[in-house]
Amino acid sequence: MPILSIKLPLFEPTHAKIHLYEDMRASFSEACNVAIRVKRENPESKASEIDRTLAPIQLPSTLRQEARKLACSRYADWKKHTKTKGFPQFRQKIAIPFNNQNWHLRFDNGFLKLGVPTADEGRLTVEKYVPLKTNAYTLFWVNYLLSGEMDETSNYYNPSINPAIQPKKGSGQLFCKKGTWYFSFALSFEMKGSLTSGKAIGVDRGLKAIAVAGDQTTGEYLLFSGKRIGHVRRKFSNLRRTLMQKKNQKALKRLKNKEQRIIHYWNHVIAKDIVAFAKTQGASIIKIEDLKGIRSMKRYWKRSDRNVNSWAFFDLETKLAYKAELAELVVQKVSPFKTSQECAACGTTLKTNRRGSRYTCSCGYRHNADVNASFVIAARPPISTAVN
């Protein structure tokens, strides 16, 4: 099920509204910080106990619950990495989250308007809805969400979306970026009859090669070298070390953002090319390794990179899943067990067959090791058909 994120700027919000949101954001951040401290002092605290300590904070009760949930998940995450991570502190300028029950869109006087619970109101009324700025793209998706019908005359119309199943509203968030307030929300929909049988290509992810897509039936493959990315990663990792020594948190944050933007862009390009490759090979299935449950990621990234770049793998997965579904392809996950040691030709699994970037088997088969792994992945049975 593909998920889209739609971002809409608020249309000329009044000063009063902006103040209201700023106050709400500050209170939300405070609630998160209070909740996570309660959790630290007493990890056994029940939800109701945490909610009681948040009661004096000026927030709609639904946001107090969101703050508690966010704090608890951040706490759990910190517990797992206490050695490497400092105790989490929520920023003042945090995004305010709303679960799918708590935000509403409607058209009113020619405007698309947003309603969210705020601290000063009991009920949402039409006057309290705020107008949003739209464009042809966002309007297409908003209309689809609100009416369940797609505008077939729109440039954004996608005939492979299944109109029989209503789109689903996801969570939303209100946030300010560079002085502009936005509301963004998630929207998911179903595609028409996805194929679950047919030809598969395999995608191997790694360090030397960021990704290799291979089709054993034709012997063709597409390799995304890690050289350039490795170079950038090392550069960023060196910069990071320097900044950490200088304890320059602001610059560190900026660096992290920049690195993430670059990786997002690369993953977008790689995912797009893999989907195009699958199409030209006549494949209907893209298989990838299921890395979620894997304990040792040694093969995939170096120790120094592990925390920083592990998300890059899963980001590629998400982008691939999304682009594949739009192209009416299925992404399936397969077991990652010794994919790099198995021979794609005869099935022998031998560690010594892999030497550096070469794979050589006693059956006579030899190939680039990552290409071999992509063939092996393509041949494995799926362990699940859905990604995400």
- Cβ atoms of 30 and 59 within 8 Å: the answer is no
Can you tell me the distance from the alpha carbon of 298 to that of 295, in angstroms, rounded to the nearest whole number?
9
Site string for Zn ion, 55-94 (x = CB under 5 A): ----------------------------------------
Stretch that binds Zn ion, among 14-22, 71-79, 227-235, 365-373 (CB under 5 A): 365-373
Residue 147 Cβ vs Zn ion, minimum distance, rounded to whole Å: 57
376 binds Zn ion, rule: CB under 5 A: no
Q: How many residues bind Zn ion (CB under 5 A)?
A: 7
Closest separation in Å from C-beta 277 to Zn ion = 25
Secondary structure in 3-state letters for 290-335: CCCCCCCCCCCCCHHHHHHHHHHHHHHHHHHHHHHHHCCCEEEEEC
The two beta strands, 220-225 and 180-188, are unpaired
Q: Are 211 and 316 in contact (CB under 8 A)?
A: yes
Q: For residues 362 and 384, which CB has a smaller minimum distance to Zn ion in the complex? A: 362
Query: Which of these segments, 166-174, 298-306, 322-330, 342-350, binds Zn ion (CB under 5 A)?
Result: 342-350
By the rule CB under 5 A, 366 interacts with Zn ion = no
Answer for which of 269, 346, 383, 386 binds Zn ion (CB under 5 A) is 346
Distance of CA 385 to the CA centre of its chain: 18
Give whichever of 95 and 345 is closer to Zn ion, judged by the CB atom.
345
Least distance in Å: CB of 362 to Zn ion? 7
* Single residue of 126, 363, 383, 386 touching Zn ion by CB under 5 A: 363
**Calpha distance 331→206 (Å, rounded):** 18
Contact region with Zn ion (CB under 5 A), list: 43-51, 244-252, 279-287, 340-348: 340-348
345 belongs to the binding site for Zn ion (CB under 5 A): yes
Task: Compute the distance between CA of residue 144 and CA of residue 185 in angstroms, rounded to an integer.
Answer: 14
Applying CB under 5 A, does 329 fall inside the site for Zn ion? no
Give the residue from 243, 233, 115, 93 showing the smallest Cα distance to 172.
115
**CB within 8 A of 162, min separation 6: which ones?**
189, 190, 191, 192, 193
Q: Rounded to 10 degrees, what is the CA torsion of 255, 208, 227, 268?
A: -60
Nearer to Zn ion, 115 or 214 (CB): 214
**Which CB sits closer to Zn ion, 76 or 346?**
346
Binding mask 284-323 for Zn ion (x = CB under 5 A): ----------------------------------------
Select from 143, 75, 68, 155 the least CA-distant residue to 105.
143
CB 76 within 8 A of CB 46: no
Task: Give me the phi and psi of 224, to 5 degrees please.
Answer: -105, 105
Contact window for Zn ion (CB under 5 A) among 201-209, 226-234, 249-257, 363-371: 363-371
* Residues ≥6 apart with Cβ < 8 Å to 312: 263, 267
Tokens linked to 383: 């362990």
The least CB distance from residue 356 to Zn ion, in Å, is 18
Should residue 361 be labelled a site residue for Zn ion when binding is judged by CB under 5 A? Answer: yes
Q: What angle do CA 41, 42, 47 make, to 5 degrees?
A: 120
CB of 364: closest distance to Zn ion in angstroms? 7
Q: Which stretch binds Zn ion (CB under 5 A): 94-102, 180-188, 282-290, 358-366?
A: 358-366
Q: Which stretch binds Zn ion (CB under 5 A): 121-129, 149-157, 309-317, 347-355?
A: 347-355
Q: Which residues bind Zn ion (CB under 5 A)?
A: 343, 345-346, 348, 361, 363, 365
